[in-house]
Structure formats: C-alpha cells, structure tokens
Amino acid sequence: MLMRLSIFAAGIALVAMVLPGVATTYLERADTVSREASRPKATSAASYAGGKGVTIEATQGHFFGTFEINGRKQSGLIDTGASVIAINVSMSRSLGIAPGSLQYNARASTANGIVKAASVVLDRVKIGTISVDNVQAMVLPDASLSGMLVGMSFLNRLSSYRVENGALHLVN
C-alpha cells in the first residue's frame, strides 16, 4: 500500500512540474494566434451603383477594419450587435477626447455585465472612401472594453451594408 501511495505521489509531483510548462506553451501559442487573427485585413475600395463602398474580408468570422476617427487611425471590430461605437478611456484619450470632460451618466450592457458609460459624439468616422460626420459613441472603462466596437450608430448612416461570400460590403 505504501509503495502504491509513493508511486501515486511521484506521479502527482511529476504532473505538477510538467503541467505549468505545457500550459504556458499552450497559452503563448494561443496568444500568438489571437494577435494574428485580430490584425485587420486590408479593406478595399469598391464602386457600387449610387455610392462609394468598402469591402472588408472576414478574419476568423469577424470583420476588422482600420478606421480614421477624428483624424486618427484606429483598428475596430464591426459589431452589428452594438448600438453605438464603443471605445475605452485609453482610446478616447488618443482620439483627442479629454477624460476629465466625460460624464459617466449612461449605462452600457456588455458581455461582462452593465457598466457606466459616457456619451460622446465623434466628429468624423472614416473607413476607406466612406466618411460619416457626427457619430454617436460611448466611452467605457478600460476594464470593460479592450478595443473599439463599431456599431449601428455608424452602420445606420450608410446607404447599405451586407455580408456576401465571406466579405462585408459597406456602401455610403
């Protein structure tokens, strides 16, 4: 019995020494894949009857684009489930919005629950040949949002948007 217990304890000790290294390797590999997947694919200009357009190829089922917000470039995830453009406090700073001027008197429902948010209006949101002025947005705490979600306050101002053959087509 003591022999079996010793072998079992040695096995547990071996697993305890090996498992952290395996987990670290797995997590580093997953982080690398995640970073590569989150890189925005190039957007391409397109011509549509009656307007200018942009086509965005999907990256692992999501549509990422490089937007120009208030004259500054930012990567964002296009999210039809988001009512407005959502940015975090750090990004708002880089877009020229003074954090001290924000009034957190709104609430936003996120995947992590309800958080306080500040309503702002972005002067201009541009992607490729498409440009929209005075777009409603919300600023959320950094812990609630890691990047930018481009929601319906931008998409509803376009002539149309559609997904076709794995690409998102935006038309101004």
Q: What is the CATH number of the domain that holds 44?
A: 2.40.70.10
| Residues 101-121, mean pLDDT to the nearest whole number | 93
Residues 74 and 32 grouped into a single domain:
no
Residues 69 and 112 grouped into a single domain:
yes
3-state secondary structure of 82: coil
Q: How confident is the model at residue 15 (pLDDT cuts 50, 70, 90)?
A: very low
Weakest-pLDDT range from 11-20, 75-84, 92-101:
11-20
Q: How confident is the model at residue 3 (pLDDT cuts 50, 70, 90)?
A: low
Residues 75 and 151 grouped into a single domain:
yes
- Distance set, CA 127 to CA 57, 102, 118, 145, 155 (Å): 14, 26, 24, 21, 11
Weakest-pLDDT range from 76-80, 111-115, 124-128:
111-115
What integer best gives the mean pLDDT of the chain? 81
Residues 9 and 46 grouped into a single domain:
no
Residues 78 and 156 grouped into a single domain:
yes
14 or 65, greater pLDDT: 65
Weakest-pLDDT range from 23-27, 46-50, 73-77, 108-112:
23-27
CA angle 39-41-45, nearest 5°?
A: 145
3-state secondary structure of 124: strand
Weakest-pLDDT range from 8-22, 105-119, 125-139, 154-168:
8-22
Residues 104 and 147 grouped into a single domain:
yes
Under 8 Å between Cβ of 126 and 142: no
Q: How confident is the model at residue 25 (pLDDT cuts 50, 70, 90)?
A: very low
Question: Which domain range does residue 154 map to?
Answer: 40-171
Assign residue 61 a region: left if phi > 0, alpha if psi is -120 to 50, beta otherwise? left
Number of domains in the chain: 2
What per-residue confidence (pLDDT) applies to 52?
83
pTM above 0.75, yes or no: no
Q: Is pLDDT above 90 for 22?
A: no
Residues 29 and 57 grouped into a single domain:
no
